[in-house]
């Protein structure tokens, strides 16, 4: 995996592991990303997830490769 997205990915994993969706309701991180568990995930984790998606999209977009993430 590209190293520029690795830090955001690790931050997202740590945030999700601390959320009520994982700790209290005992769902996996993958299950917490589904639409029906959206209310159990804090806004902070959702914003980190969006940043991670933007980072990954930037790695594939040829225009972004010249400008950087």
pLDDT higher at 50 or 66: 50
- Separation CA 58–CA 55 (nearest Å): 5
Domain count for the chain = 1
Is 16 among the domain residues? yes
Is 68 among the domain residues? no
Is 67 among the domain residues? no
Is 21 among the domain residues? yes
Is 69 among the domain residues? no
Instruction: Please determine, for residue 62, whether its predicted confidence score (pLDDT) is greater than 80.
Output: no
Instruction: Please determine, for residue 66, whether its predicted confidence score (pLDDT) is greater than 80.
Output: no
Is 43 among the domain residues? yes
Closest CA to 64 of 17, 11, 4: 4
Task: Read off the pTM.
Answer: 0.78
- Separation CA 69–CA 42 (nearest Å): 25
Is 66 among the domain residues? no
Q: Where are the alpha helices (DSSP H) in 1-69?
A: 3-17, 20-23, 29-32, 43-60, 62-67
Structure tokens at 47: 């914003």
Residue 44 lies in domain: 6-60
Report the length, in residues, of the chain. 69
């Amino acid at each position: 995996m590209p190293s520029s997205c690795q830090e955001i990915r690790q931050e997202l994993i740590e945030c999700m592991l601390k959320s009520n969706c994982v700790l209290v309701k005992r769902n996996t991180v993958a299950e917490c990303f589904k639409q029906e568990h959206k209310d159990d995930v804090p806004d902070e984790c959702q914003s980190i997830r969006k940043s991670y998606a933007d980072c990954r999209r930037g790695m594939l977009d040829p225009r972004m490769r010249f400008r950087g993430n």
